[in-house]
Structures are given as C-alpha cells and as structure tokens.
Structure 1
Amino acid sequence: MAVRIRRKYSSATLLLCGLPLCCSLLSPAVAHAGDTIGSDGYVHVAPNGVVLGVDPYYPTDGNGGYDVGDYTVDLSYDPASRFLSAKALVTATTTQRLSRFNLDLRGLTVTAVKVNGVPASFVRAKAHELVITPVTELAADTSFTVEVVYCGRPEPEYVPGRGATGWRTTRSGGAVAAGAPHSATTWFPVNDTSVDKATFHLNATVPTGWSVASTGVRKSVHNGTHSWVEEVPVTPSATMIAIDRFAVRESTLPAGTTVLDAFGPGADTALARTLPAAMEFLTGKLGDYPLPATGGVYLQDWFYYSHPSQGRPVHGGFAGESALVQALASQWWGNHLAIKMWKDQPLVDSFARYTVWMWDEAKGGTAVEQHYQDALRRAGSDAWFWGRKLADPGMGREFSVTDKGVLMVHALRKHIGDEAFFTMLRDYPSISALLNQGWYDWELYTAAVADKDLTAFYEAWVHGTTLPPAELR
C-alpha cells in the first residue's frame, strides 16, 4: 500500500503558531552553486526546504532567479486593425546571480530589450519563453529593470479542457484579456506564476470614443490615455484589460470602497445592481474587503462565467447573480489568498462557490443544508463525479470540480462545527495575504484551529476518488 508523506508544518501553520517566517521560506527557485541561469519554470520549495519542483500541469510557467516588484505597461491599441504597440518595464530583484533569465510572453513581436537601461540580447523559445541575456551578469540580491518593446496582434491561448483564455476581441469590436491560467502572457511579458505577486501600472492609449478598464484604481484619462494603478500586489492571472465603447458608472459603497463599473455596448446593467448588497453580505462573512476598489466589466459577449480579475471581475453576457457573488468572494478566496500550483485551484474555488449557497440562504432562498442534500442526491454514487480528485484534478480540469468541492466545504462545516468553520473562512485569507497556499497548508491549518484529527476527512473528500463514507457526509 502506498504511503503519502505529509509535511510537518507549513507557512500557514507557522503564522498560526506565532513563529517568524524567514526569507528563505519564500525563495522562488533552487539555485545551485555557480548556477547563473534562471530556470524556465518556477521551482516550488516547501517551507522546510524540500524541493517540490515545477507546476505539474504547466511546468514552464514562471521563471527562476528573480522576484518581480512591479509591472508598468504603456500601450496603444487600435481596435480597427487590432494592432497593439507596447513597452513594458519590469522592476525586479535577483534571487541568485543571473547571466541569463526568462520572461513569459506568447506571440507578439519583440523588437528591443534593455536590462538596467542597456540593450540586451534576446531570443524566443518554446511557446512563450523570452530568453534575455544582459551584457553584464546581474549580482544576487540586487534590484534591476527590464524594458521590453513589442507589438503585434494579440491572440488567445487555447488550453485543453479550458478553451480560450487571454486576449480576445469582443462582439462590439473591442478587446478583453482575462482568464486563467495564462491570460497575462498574451499581452505583456510577465513572470507567469501565482507565487510572484507584483504591483501593476497601466497606461493604455485608445482612439477617441473608446475606453479602457483594468485592474486597480483608475487614476486619470487624458488625451486618450487611460491610466490605472494596482498597488495591492496581484498574481498575473488576476490582471485584466478591457477596451470598448464603455459606459462607465462610478459610485462609493457605505464602507468607503470605490466602485467602477464598465458596461460594454448592449450589456445589461441589472447585474451590477446586486454588487452593493453582495459586498455587504460578503464582508460580514469574510471580513474587510482587501482592496481599495471594486466593480466589474460587463460584456454582451457569449461566455457564461465571470472571471474574478482582481478588484474588477469580467462578466459575460450570460453570467448571473451567482457568478457575480462567486467572483466577488474570489477577491478573498483566490486573489488575496492565492494558490501555489494550479492543482490547488479547487481549494479557493470551492470556498468561493460556497458563499453563493450562503448568499442564497441569506436572501430567503434555498437553505445551505438543502443545497447540500440536493447535490448529494443528484450525485448519488456516480463513479465519474466522485472519481475526480480535488487535490489533483488534472491539467485543464482544475476549474471543473467545484461541484464536488462545494460539497466538501459544507461537509467540513458539519464535521468541525460553525464556530471553527467561520473562524477559518474569515481568517485564512487574512493570514495568507503575503503567502501562497495549497491543500496541505489548508489541511494542517484546519486541523490546528479545529483541534481535531481531520486526516480521514481529507483522505475521503480531497484525496479520495469514491463516495465518502456516511459518517463523513
């Protein structure tokens, strides 16, 4: 019988116990003595120093050798020709000596690269690697800048089982770039891993009559240039840009959070009216909203989901109230609390989806327990339904198991009681704001807070592939 060995502690456990985190726990890559080439995939390291390796689904996501502090993207886009011209300035700090390193960028033509203001050589490799060789080797633990000038017609990326993500044109002739796992790389060079959050600045110039919505706070609109600033570090997959003939509506919530909604041509404005009440409900359950601004981009386009871009989700024409609530909840569970690897995505999605059940109950709809019992009855003992492993659903399926995951969340609530459950629901994103968490971290954290051995529960619900036993349901 195979034995799965668990880590004895995690970053979340260290915080819970009041123990200090040292910088080495956050090292983004494993650098060997004399190695001066940054890896073309982000190497994950456990808090105890054990090398976990690259993301098993997307092994070349992200890069080693540096931490990004900020992205500043200056671009112009012509909707008529669908042509983008841009310059990105990446400000970063080395984590090892670097004679060569990579950024992630899909398609588009790179015309020039500078490192610390000096022209550098570069080549393209694989589907998305921009390999950069500075004139002078970069010392370890030093700040540096990379300027990339590029242009072209951005295209979406197609992920098996997920479809198109990233840059795409809208029905009204505009463009939107949102989605996961690889949206950012379709329009600006990035260290494409969730464990390298950075601040984000955008200056986007569009023709008269067109508008730009993006992540963060809109700072100014001048001579066709729309400037946006996100000072709360964001993961690459949570950034977004939308360009269209938007009708923009601004307001302020009672708590002081600013709201900016952008409605594309033909988009229904009714969904946005749910936001104030949903925010009031979610802050009551999850704590203070972790961002200075909220709102959404509302499109007439055909997709049914809402992508939870940081601070400003993108809602398709068929998205409904449930999708909006889940996208808002993802600002806590998904953006503030970010995952380590893509196999961990069901963790945050399952809890964000559970808030939809609670929202429905709170406004006089179906009780949460009834949602749970109805879903269990529909699933029955179906081998396909229960055969999907929450801890490792497989590439392209990391977003498709929340129908099972939301059942796990309610079963956990019943198993540990409301007091412990709601403490965890509120506190875990808060203590994890500067970290990235996965299933093992969550399992250890919940066992500590509940003061209960949850091994059997998680083996059945998270790591198991059959209907959990009745005593755990």
Structure 2
Amino acid sequence: MRLSGLCGVVVAGVLVLAAPGVAQADPFLGAPGLGDPYYPLDGNGGYDVGHYEIGIDYDPPTRHLAGSARIEARATQALRAFNLDFDGPEVRMVTVNGLPAAWDRNGEHELTITPSVPLLPGLPFVALVDYAGPARDEMGAGWTISPSGGAFVAGEPHSAATWYPLNDTPLDKATFTLHTTVPAEWEVMSNGRRTRNEVRGDKRIVSWESKHPVLGYLTTVAIDRFSFLEQQRPDGTPLLSAFAPQAEDNRETERRLPEILDFAESLYGPYPFDAAGGIYVDAELEISLETQTRPIYAPWTDLETVVHEIAHQWWGDAVSVRQWSDICLNECFASYTADYLWGERKEGVDVDAQYREKVAKYLDDPKFWSIPLDNPGAGREFTSVYYRGPLFLHALRKQLGDEVFFGAVKEFLRAHAYGNASMLEFRTFVQSKSGTDLTGFLRAWLDTEEPPADEYLFPGALRV
C-alpha cells in the first residue's frame, strides 16, 4: 500500500494461539480469532480454506449487492461450530456439505455457523453462504462507491469481509474465483485472468480466476464504465489495465508497466503470477493498494506509486506477513524499490547522497525515529515503514555489500514463495548471509526509537 503525500488451533499448517480473552472451553468450537497482536479477532480457528468461489450480482443505481460464497476447506479439528469473518449484507441461507446450517452474526465481523452434522478433523467440507442487501460505502476500508455510481473494493488490513465471508487472516491463503453479474453497460475488473466476459440481454457476466493463492485484502472487484489498455510481456503474460471515466490521465504511466515488471524482476526474481495490470479509479482515495496481480490506483497515482505497488507483488502478495507486526517486510521493501532503487537503476540518481541527505535532515528529529520498524504497534503499522524503512534497507545493503544483499533478498523470496514470512525469519536469514555479527545493527535499526549509532547509520561506503 502507498499513502498519498508520502515519498516514500492450526491454520495452513501453523499453530496459532487463540485471541487473548476469548474463552475456548468447548474443544469442538473453532476459535473466533487467531490472536494476531494487532487484530486478535481476525481469522478463525479449526479449518484451512483451499478455495473461494464467489458470485455477486451488483446493481449500481440501487447499490444492491447479492452474493453467494462457496468456501472449500478442510477441518483441522472436530467442529460442531466454526466462524467466518463477514461484515457485508444480510445473510439469507447457509449450508455445509449440502445440508442446512444454523448461523449467528455477532461481534464486529463474526458469522458463526453450526453445521447439521459436526465436521471431523482432516476431512474436507464445503460451506455455502447466500447474502443480499444494500452495499455500504466503506471508502478506503472495503466496498467503495465510485463517483460514476460504480463500485470497487480496497482497504488494508481489512476489506474482503465487506463483500464476501472468509477466513480473514494472513495465515490462510487460498485460490480465488469470482463470477459477477452487472448491467450490460458496466465493466468488471478483478484479480488474475478474465475467463468470461459475455453480454446476455441487459446483463454482463464476467468471471475471473486466480490460480495462485491470495489473501482476503488482496482480492478486489471493480465495477465501472472502464476503458482498457491491453499489453503483453515478451513471455506472453497478459497485462490488462482499466481506467475509470476520470482516470484517463494515468494511461501513459500504465504504458510503462512492462518496463516496471522487468525492473522488479531483475531485483527479485521471476514475476510470481500469470497476469498483471492495474485498476485506476477516480474516487478520492488516500491510498493505492497492491491487490494481487492488478493494483487499485487512486487518482493521484504517479510513476513511483506504480513501482511501489508492483514491488508488492513480490513483497506482500507472493510472500505475505505472518502477523501485522511484520509489516516492514511489505512496506519497507516496496518503498525502497520505488524511492531508491528505481531512481538509481533507471535515472542515475546517487542514492548514497540521497540517503545521507535524508539522514541529515531528520537525524535530530525525535518524531522521525519514534516508531520502530519491527513491531511498530497497532494503529501505527502504516507509518515509519514508509519513511524509515528505505533507510534501513539501504544501510543493510551497504553493510552486506550489493552482491550479498541482492542475492539474499532473491533467495529469501524463493524460500517463502506463495507463503508467509516474519521479520524474525528475515533477521535470522540475513544474519546467515553476513560474515559479521548483525545483532547490534538490526537491533539499532529495527527495535529502537532513536537514530542508530554512527557505526550502524553509516556502514561501508556511507561513512562520512
């Protein structure tokens, strides 16, 4: 995610503690949360989702949203009840394995489902949820109404639960299929590859397929009177981008997408997905967001923003955080890519000088250093990672040397491809690539609330 105005239980095989304060007296109830340190009630215990198949029918004039979610999962414990995360329209019907199921909506976003027959550990199950009603406008935090009357979805760390039920946690990636029905004059964009675009009478039916696993907040749907830009990479990867009526000014920037993908690929290894593009909306969003394969771009988008969101396709999408306290893995790398590496590699910028100037400007500003990069704190996760994160990575690069640094980040991405990683894993990994002890360096840059000592602030060629 890039902000306006900045320069810069068992789930998926991982044992996760239940949310603090959540009673777990009944061993046959799936936990209503997974204990993320920032969002303890996000996600649900007791099962692992493999695939979502979502169908929605949306009418822009009335803002009526009707949906059907098919959730294919595997129970990881015996379950007489389990939860989904859902904050969308009224639920009309739920079935589990073809049998009617009871349900209850509770808390901020809990949908508790009680199957007719308890679920057995290790066995697959299918839950179907039908829902319908007025779609709320959750500007920048989910389902958002466009100026044209269309709609799109964007928001981090939450957004998906506003339009379909899911296990909303970074720990449970799943493949994703979307079928949409809208009035014929409207177009639909989403993640992955478009597999159907057909007009029948006064309706348009559009389907999208994501064959690589994706997190909830990285899924999107966008409905508008789009114009399109179709491009292709030399290897045949299709690049489909869309522009809302008042977003045409961004077309020339998006024409550089093949170049940007090649650039990011040279840094981080092969592009991890089978499609790419961008969705340019014209709502006054404060963010642009790295929705998988096809980011959502706000009207203020510039070239650096596109570079930032494309870097996220590696850092954040293909490799995702384990917990939201690990957010530096996403934003520090995306910001460094856009704010330093693009200028250095493509425009000849002296990034060592850029680094020294930034340090000199903020060295005596306590506020600049007051939020640590590793575990910045709930509600502060989208702050210092943008402006302090690139400095950390440039200092780390100088500490390790270019050959070791760039080789290490590629290797780290390969090792965690299509899965999750933590800051602790990253720290341990880079230490294994260094011939010197990095304990002091990493602590100074990642854990403290003050500028690093000179020996860590100006390593290698950065010493002045």
The two structures have a TM-score, normalised by structure 2, of 0.91
**For residue 67 of structure 2, what is the aligned residue in structure 1?**
86
Q: CA deviation at 1:30?
A: 5.6
Q: CA deviation at 1:302?
A: 1.9
CA distance in 2, matches of 1:106, 1:41: 15
**For residue 441 of structure 1, what is the aligned residue in structure 2?**
425
Q: Aligned with 2:27: secondary structure?
A: coil
Candidates 109, 113, 117, aligned match of 2:98: 117
**Contact 1:102 1:131 (C-alpha < 8 Å) held by counterparts:** yes
Candidates 191, 200, 203, aligned match of 2:179: 203
Matched, 1:266 2:246: yes
CA distance in 1, matches of 2:43, 2:26: 22
Matched, 1:27 2:27: no
Q: CA deviation at 1:435?
A: 3.0
**For residue 6 of structure 1, what is the aligned residue in structure 2?**
none
Q: CA deviation at 1:245?
A: 0.5
Task: Return the letter of the residue paired with 2:106.
Answer: A
**For residue 278 of structure 2, what is the aligned residue in structure 1?**
296
Q: Deviations over 1:287-344 (max 9, x none)?
A: 1000000000012222253210100001110011111001000000111110011111
CA distance in 1, matches of 2:309, 2:183: 30
Task: Return the letter of the residue paired with 2:56.
Answer: L
Task: Return the letter of the residue paired with 1:213.
Answer: M
Q: CA deviation at 1:104?
A: 0.3
**Contact 1:298 1:315 (C-alpha < 8 Å) held by counterparts:** yes
CA distance in 1, matches of 2:432, 2:173: 28
**Contact 2:194 2:208 (C-alpha < 8 Å) held by counterparts:** yes
Matched, 1:191 2:175: no
Q: Deviations over 1:37-96 (max 9, x none)?
A: 100112xxxxxxxxxxx1111110000000000000011000001110010000000110
CA distance in 2, matches of 1:57, 1:153: 30
> What are the ranges of 5 or more consecutive residues in structure 1 without an aligned counterpart?
1-22, 43-53, 158-162
Task: Return the letter of the residue paired with 1:427.
Answer: E
**For residue 376 of structure 1, what is the aligned residue in structure 2?**
359
Matched, 1:151 2:132: yes
Q: Deviations over 1:378-409 (max 9, x none)?
A: 21221111110111212222122120111100
**Contact 1:28 1:66 (C-alpha < 8 Å) held by counterparts:** no
Candidates 377, 382, 387, aligned match of 1:399: 382
CA RMSD of aligned residues (A): 1.8
Call closer, same or farther: CA 1:206–1:25 in 2, change over 3 Å: closer
**For residue 49 of structure 1, what is the aligned residue in structure 2?**
none
**For residue 424 of structure 1, what is the aligned residue in structure 2?**
408
Q: Aligned with 2:390: secondary structure?
A: helix
Q: Aligned with 2:325: secondary structure?
A: helix
**For residue 6 of structure 2, what is the aligned residue in structure 1?**
none
Q: Aligned with 1:328: secondary structure?
A: helix
**Contact 2:191 2:292 (C-alpha < 8 Å) held by counterparts:** yes
Task: Return the letter of the residue paired with 1:183.
Answer: S
Q: Deviations over 1:142-198 (max 9, x none)?
A: 1000000001223355xxxxx841111111111110221111011000100011000
Q: CA deviation at 1:122?
A: 0.3
**In the TM superposition, what are the counterparts of 1:2-401 in structure 2 within 5 Å?**
26-29=13-16, 35-42=27-34, 54-155=35-136, 164-222=140-198, 223=200, 224-267=204-247, 268=249, 269-356=251-338, 357-401=340-384
> What are the ranges of 5 or more consecutive residues in structure 2 without an aligned counterpart?
1-9, 19-23, 458-464
Q: CA deviation at 1:33?
A: 10
Call closer, same or farther: CA 1:155–1:366 in 2, change over 3 Å: farther
**For residue 461 of structure 1, what is the aligned residue in structure 2?**
445
Q: Aligned with 1:262: secondary structure?
A: strand
**Contact 1:346 1:399 (C-alpha < 8 Å) held by counterparts:** no
Call closer, same or farther: CA 1:56–1:34 in 2, change over 3 Å: closer
Q: CA deviation at 1:418?
A: 1.0
CA distance in 1, matches of 2:125, 2:348: 54
Q: Aligned with 2:388: secondary structure?
A: helix
Task: Return the letter of the residue paired with 1:343.
Answer: S
**Contact 2:77 2:120 (C-alpha < 8 Å) held by counterparts:** yes
CA distance in 2, matches of 1:418, 1:389: 25
Q: CA deviation at 1:212?
A: 0.6
Task: Return the letter of the residue paired with 1:367.
Answer: D
**Contact 1:155 1:166 (C-alpha < 8 Å) held by counterparts:** no
Q: Aligned with 1:90: secondary structure?
A: strand
CA distance in 1, matches of 2:140, 2:154: 10
Call closer, same or farther: CA 1:298–1:365 in 2, change over 3 Å: farther
Call closer, same or farther: CA 1:121–1:85 in 2, change over 3 Å: same
**Contact 2:11 2:47 (C-alpha < 8 Å) held by counterparts:** no
Task: Return the letter of the residue paired with 1:179.
Answer: G
**Contact 2:73 2:124 (C-alpha < 8 Å) held by counterparts:** yes
**Contact 2:408 2:433 (C-alpha < 8 Å) held by counterparts:** yes
Task: Return the letter of the residue paired with 1:391.
Answer: D
Q: Aligned with 2:347: secondary structure?
A: coil
**For residue 20 of structure 1, what is the aligned residue in structure 2?**
none
**Contact 1:347 1:405 (C-alpha < 8 Å) held by counterparts:** no
**Contact 1:297 1:314 (C-alpha < 8 Å) held by counterparts:** yes
Task: Return the letter of the residue paired with 2:220.
Answer: M
User: Identity rate of aligned residues, in percent?
Assistant: 40
**Contact 2:140 2:287 (C-alpha < 8 Å) held by counterparts:** no
Task: Return the letter of the residue paired with 1:296.
Answer: G
**Contact 1:174 1:243 (C-alpha < 8 Å) held by counterparts:** yes
Call closer, same or farther: CA 1:343–1:24 in 2, change over 3 Å: closer
Task: Return the letter of the residue paired with 2:70.
Answer: L
Q: Aligned with 2:72: secondary structure?
A: strand
